[in-house]
Amino acid sequence: MSEIGVIHTEHIKKYYIMGDVEVRALNDITLDIYKGELAAIMGPSGSGKSTLMNILGCLDRPTGGIYKLGGELVSEMNDSQLADVRNRKIGFVFQSFNLLPRSTALENVLLPTLYSKKRANAKQRAINALEMVGLGARVNHKPKEMSGGQQQRVAIARALINDPEIIMADEPTGNLDSKSGKEIMELLIRLNKEQGKTIILVTHDPKIGKQVPRVISVFDGMLGSEEEQKELKRWTDVNYSKLDGLAGDKAALADDHPDKILDGKETPDNQAVKMEEKEAE
């Protein structure tokens, strides 16, 4: 594909100054993501995935480089223009749901309509969005009266309320048990297939890498080459196909420790798992 993507970046950089030290969180990211794609951004902890996602999601601005979203040059926009584009084009889903604790599911889903020009039938649209994510019977529940998976589905309904073309999710299954995580992935895949939403998610889970058509790898603030990205995708496909149909203990083991079941092969992802385990110690 050579035409320009709905997401198009050229040489994006993001540097943070910490005292005397410059932290180069992103170095030269040139990337196209096309309308209707479902892509997973993967890479070790600290590699720049969230930084990239926050820039793509118009929550933050790059230090340098070009970012065009749907043809609009967002890298040159001021804060209020950026907020406007975000409201029109993007629904964002966070790892920790970010729901208002004292508001009901319905009130949480309605929140983005307060900042939007699309206010007509807001309540009915919110109810429809909650029904679409399977929570038609939970509209008046508050977050603490729902499971983690249900809370994340409320967050997805909130991301859908203004009918954005793009859904972005930073580790949407990271705080969920594997069954709820699987349901959230099924929901995102359905939104991509049935409604044609462009979906970009960050994940540490190689099983998700297998479920999506495209994997975008990030290391030290840089993308892997096209060949490296395809290699990573092939790796998740082959290794996680081996797990299909395996029930019980072995699959559960793989859930927690993919590297233990996959011949100890050193891959970017089990490196990430190991780094996380090290950090947790």
Ligand X SMILES: Nc1ncnc2c1ncn2[C@@H]1O[C@H](COP(=O)(O)OP(=O)(O)OP(=O)(O)O)[C@@H](O)[C@H]1O
Angle (nearest 5°) at CA 180 between 175 and 184: 90
Does 47 contact ligand X by CB under 6 A? yes
For 263, residues 6+ apart whose C-beta sits below 8 A from its C-beta are none
Torsion angles phi and psi, residue 16, rounded to 5: -115, 140
Does 148 contact ligand X by CB under 6 A? no
What span, in angstroms and rounded, lies between the C-alpha atoms of 191 and 169?
Answer: 13
- The partner in contact with residue 48, picked from ligand X, Mg ion, none with C-beta cut-offs of 5 to 8 angstroms by kind, is ligand X
Residue number, 48 or 209, with CB nearest to ligand X: 48
By CB under 5 A, the residues from 47 to 106 that bind Mg ion are 50
Q: How many other CB atoms are found less than 10 A from the CB of residue 189?
A: 15
Q: Give the residue nearest to Mg ion (CB).
A: 50
- The partner in contact with residue 46, picked from ligand X, Mg ion, none with C-beta cut-offs of 5 to 8 angstroms by kind, is ligand X
Q: In the bound complex, what is the minimum distance in angstroms from residue 201's beta carbon to ligand X?
A: 12
Residue 150 belongs to what H/E stretch?
helix 148-160
Q: Which of 12, 25, 105, 133 binds ligand X (CB under 6 A)?
A: 25
What span, in angstroms and rounded, lies between the C-alpha atoms of 173 and 158?
Answer: 16
Q: Which among 5-13, 39-47, 64-72, 178-186 is the span making contact with ligand X, rule CB under 6 A?
A: 39-47
Residue number, 51 or 180, with CB nearest to ligand X: 51
Give SS3 for 176.
coil
Does 224 contact ligand X by CB under 6 A? no
Q: Which among 27-35, 40-48, 117-125, 126-134 is the span making contact with ligand X, rule CB under 6 A?
A: 40-48
Q: Which among 46-54, 102-110, 124-132, 208-216 is the span making contact with Mg ion, rule CB under 5 A?
A: 46-54
Cα dihedral angle (136, 188, 203, 52), rounded to 10 degrees?
Answer: -100
Does 51 contact ligand X by CB under 6 A? yes
Q: In the bound complex, what is the minimum distance in angstroms from residue 49's beta carbon to Mg ion?
A: 5
Does 49 contact ligand X by CB under 6 A? yes
Does 120 contact ligand X by CB under 6 A? no
Does 16 contact ligand X by CB under 6 A? yes
CA 80 to chain centre: 23
Residue number, 23 or 73, with CB nearest to ligand X: 23
| CA dist list (Å): 184 to 178, 211, 244 | 10, 12, 19
Cα dihedral angle (126, 130, 56, 52), rounded to 10 degrees?
Answer: 140
Tell me if 184 sits within 8 A of 22, measured CB to CB: no
Residue number, 50 or 270, with CB nearest to Mg ion: 50
Residue 124 belongs to what H/E stretch?
helix 122-132
Q: Which of 38, 42, 50, 56 binds ligand X (CB under 6 A)?
A: 50
**Interface contacts to ligand X, rule CB under 6 A:** 16, 18, 23, 25, 43, 45-51
